[in-house]
Amino acid sequence: MSVQIINPATEQLVREYGFMSPGELDAAVTQSTEAYPHWRRLDLKARLECVRTFENALQAALEVASNQITTEMGKVRKEAQAEVNKCIASCKILRENFGAWKAQKEYVLSSGHSVHYEPLGPLLGIMPWNFPLWQVIRFAIPALLCGNTVLLKHAPNTWGVAEFLEGLFKQAFPEGTYVNLRVGVPETSALIGDSRVRGVSLTGSRQAGQSVGELAGRHLKKCVLELGGSDAYIILDDADLDLAADVCARGRMVNAGQSCVAAKRFIVTKKNSAAFTERFQKQLEKFQYGDPLSATTGIGPLARRDLRDQLAAQVDHSVKQGARLLFGGQVPKEKGFYYPASLLVGVKPGQVAFDEELFGPVAAVIEADDEKQAIALANRSRYGLGGAVFSKDTARAKEIAVHEIEAGMVFINDFVKSDALVPFGGIKDSGIGRELGREGAFEFTNAKLVK
């Protein structure tokens, strides 16, 4: 059995990979398990030096990494380069801050009690294709700095990126601390139950999170689940509409809309509905699809044919349910898994475009009578990952963000983006636990009390 990697822009075969045999998989887990005792006892300074070496190796391979990402999942070249640069910068941030974060977490009381954050052991990471470098780095580097070892199961359509990453980790870290796994769903499920694996981190769909969470719970394993989102951006009566239209368009079109934390539902009060929609459409129309290697391309193809077809079906269904398509919404005839930037208006609860996550370059505008209804519509979702509030009264916008919006992250007059310095994650069906920042860095540790 094998996996074929197809270039989503050309539909040509890039490479074919075979799955690990049962023996190879067992050997990989054994290697990670045997590497753990030495790695966990290694001085933090030495582990930080491994990160520095990795960071330098990735910097040297920036163009190779960018090309690999674009070829395998279709991200436009400038965004692929930005992803690699973000990984490099985040390694530096972690090197400079991890020691201080650990010191702040660990403490001694006058009673003589002390708290120490100890690693758990080999961890299983199940990572997605949409940010094939960044998703791995933000999980693996903090986990390794804590003293854990990492087993990484990547999305099959980016196994070339996974192989490239393993090569870099082998250059920088001791053998067995990071191991790439070419396995399918049945083997991954079995790994969660393997007693040698002490925790699991998944970034993926809500359905995948339910399956992984159920298995982790059954085997009493620590898990972090970063799942889907249907992020609501609220445009209030006093919003700067030019700013809002520009920011919302960029927030929706990042990675051709293939981001869990991309802007997806745009809830605008009745006063500004027509004016915002007109401006928003003009901004969205700037994102023309095309060759992801071209510097002038706005959005590349979707990563796979089935993902493009699913998005097209969601748009068609929404229109049948009463939404109105202002532009886009037609599958292109040329080669490649392209879908144009599209705008739906008249979207309401009960329609697919409101209730489900649209993982692609489709924006849904929802009209609200007033601020109160806008907030209620924003929260009327099974998801709770990110969101934004647009208003010239930033104090009031922040009050809404803090006290009213049900989400893990809310930005004011800007679109949501991740940063190594601050926690990332959601609530409700968007997942459990946190990545990044001090809060996320120690998710896979044992807060050990000693007296």
Cα–Cα distance measured from residue 321 to residue 295, given in angstroms and rounded to the nearest whole number: 38
Q: pLDDT, tens digit, for every residue of 180-222?
A: 999 999 999 999 999 999 999 999 999 999 999 999 999 999 9
Q: Is the distance from CB of 426 to CB of 386 less than 8 angstroms?
A: yes
The mean pLDDT value of the chain amounts to 98
Cα–Cα distance measured from residue 122 to residue 351, given in angstroms and rounded to the nearest whole number: 43
Verify whether residue 11 is a known catalytic residue. no
Q: pLDDT, tens digit, for every residue of 217-266?
A: 999 999 999 999 999 999 999 999 999 999 999 999 999 999 999 999 99
Q: Would you give the distance in Å from CA 270 to the centre of its chain? A: 32
Nearest by Cα to 414 from 236, 247, 253, 284: 247
pLDDT of residue 144: 98
Percent above pLDDT 70 for the chain: 100
Q: Which residues contact 173 (CB under 8 A, 6 or more apart)?
A: 50, 54, 144
Name the burial class of residue 219, with classes exposed (0-12), middle (13-18) and buried (19+) by CB atoms within 10 angstroms of its CB.
Answer: middle
Q: pLDDT, tens digit, for every residue of 269-299?
A: 999 999 999 999 999 999 999 999 999 999 9
Verify whether residue 34 is a known catalytic residue. no
- Active-site residue among 55, 72, 79, 226? 226
Cα–Cα distance measured from residue 109 to residue 390, given in angstroms and rounded to the nearest whole number: 45
Percent above pLDDT 90 for the chain: 100
pTM for the whole structure: 0.97
Average pLDDT (136-145) is 98
- Active-site residue among 83, 260, 367, 435? 260
Kind of pairing, strands 263-269 and 324-327?
Answer: unpaired
Token pair, residue 429, equals 């069906």
Cα–Cα distance measured from residue 412 to residue 397, given in angstroms and rounded to the nearest whole number: 7
Average pLDDT (99-120) is 95
Helix ranges restricted to H, 15-131: 22-41, 44-60, 62-73, 77-105
Question: 1 falls in which pLDDT band (50, 70, 90)?
Answer: confident
Q: H or E element: which one contains 278?
A: helix 273-284
What residues are paired with 435 via a beta bridge? Answer: 424
Question: 439 falls in which pLDDT band (50, 70, 90)?
Answer: very high
SS3 call for 286 = coil
Cα–Cα distance measured from residue 103 to residue 99, given in angstroms and rounded to the nearest whole number: 6
Question: 377 falls in which pLDDT band (50, 70, 90)?
Answer: very high
pLDDT of residue 56: 98
Average pLDDT (381-407) is 98
pLDDT of residue 229: 97
- Of the chain, the end-to-end C-alpha distance in Å amounts to 54
Domains and CATH numbers, the chain: 2-227+430-450 (3.40.605.10), 231-412 (3.40.309.10)
Nearest by Cα to 286 from 296, 294, 277, 276: 296
Q: pLDDT, tens digit, for every residue of 420-438?
A: 999 999 999 999 999 999 9
Taking residue 193's Cβ as centre, other Cβ atoms within 10 Å add up to: 12
- Angle at which helix 134-145 crosses helix 44-60, to 10 degrees, equals 160
Q: pLDDT, tens digit, for every residue of 25-43?
A: 999 999 999 999 999 999 9
Average pLDDT (91-96) is 98
pLDDT of residue 297: 97
